[in-house]
Every structure is written in C-alpha cells, then in structure tokens.
Structure 1
C-alpha cells in the first residue's frame, strides 16, 4: 500500500494538521490600529492538542533532541510556553512526515542536505 495512512489523507501537508491541532500562532491585526502578539486559535481540536502536550512532556524527558531544543530556546530568552508550543508544532511535523513516508522514527537520523 503506497501513500499516507487513511487518517492523514484529510490534510495535504503538516501545516494544515498543525493548524487543525491549534499549534500554529496567528497574528490578529487590523491595519495599523490594532497590533497584538501572535496567538493560537481557540477553535483547535482540543483532544489532539492535549495529546500533543503529553507527548511533548514525555519527549522533553526522554528524547535528547527535544530536551536540547527546549533548553537552547530558554537560554535565548524565549517564553517557556512559546517554546512548548513550538515543540508541539515540531512534533506534528515529525509525525506527519513519518506517517506520510511510512517510516519509523530513528533518533540517530541526520539530514545530509548539501
């Protein structure tokens, strides 16, 4: 069987899934009069978002790459909740890519783009 699993056919790319899960911040502005910080949508799928939160907590504890990413962003002065949300987005993209390519996660994988 080729292609992504049935449940991932609803979304064409990882960004659409991330938006559905509510982990992509959007800016709310109206011309030059209203400027605010980018915020995630309240229309998100709460179940997916809650599951991603649990996954990220586990990844921060047991996965060296996620733990290093979290600590690096905190040292850069980022807000811990913004970093946590970025990690959820990163996880969605990783899961989507693995499902689409029908691969298992390899912690030692290195990208060799030249």
Structure 2
C-alpha cells in the first residue's frame, strides 16, 4: 500500500483510493427506466485490487468485525463477491483513517469499553 499510494500522499480521500483500487461501486443507470446492478470500474490498478482482495479473503476468515459483517451480509442474500468488494472498501477506508490520524487501529468494541 505504501508503494501504490506514495506513502499515502497520492490520495487525500479514501473514496479516490477506493476508486483507483477498483473497489468503489458505480451505479448503472440509463435515464429513468433502465437500471442495473452497480459495478466497479474496469480501469482499476489490478495489482492493488488483487492485493486488497487477498487481504479481504484473509480478513473474513479470522474472527472479528469483518468476518461477522461478511457472514451477516451473505446470510441476508448478498452475493459473496459483492460482499468481498465491500470488505475491500472497508479495508481501504480503515487504512486511510489510520494514516490520517497517525494512531494505531482500534476496533469499535475497544473504543466503547
């Protein structure tokens, strides 16, 4: 991530980084009558997308917030690849937040207690 983002200086917004990595969904709309599923851009950096996908696969295998999120969404009927994309997007946003605040990551449960 440090190489792709230039030590997190190339992107000032996590949405821009998510779009560059091919994780940001874009709505498919044509006028008012034709609507389809949201899709991600095919012009993404494929190496970065692959690395984030592998990180997402690992994140949903270990106990934690992302595994619970993945299982909850799949049980609700979402497609697995769509949920993996959401997990990749969450990872990008969390990385950007950590680098912006310059503090270690803390989970939601640790902040409440």
TM-score (structure 2 length as normaliser): 0.84
Q: CA deviation at 1:63?
A: 4.0
Tell me the equivalent position of 1:12.
12
Q: Which has the higher strand share?
A: 2
Structure 1 alignment gaps of length 5 or more:
none
Which 4+ residue blocks in structure 1 deviate beyond 3 angstroms?
A: none
Structure 2 alignment gaps of length 5 or more:
none
Tell me the equivalent position of 1:88.
88
Q: CA deviation at 1:102?
A: 1.4
The 2-side partners of 1:43 and 1:111 are apart by: 39
Q: Secondary structure at the match of 1:44?
A: coil
Tell me the equivalent position of 1:110.
111
Q: Secondary structure at the match of 2:30?
A: coil
Distance 1:80 1:38, change over 3 A: same
Counterparts of 1:1-114 in structure 2 under 5 Å? 7-32=7-32, 34-107=34-107, 108-110=109-111
Higher relative contact order (CA 8 A, sep 6+): 1
Q: Pairwise CA RMSD of aligned residues?
A: 2.0
Stretch moving more, 52-61 or 89-98:
52-61
TM-score (structure 1 length as normaliser): 0.83
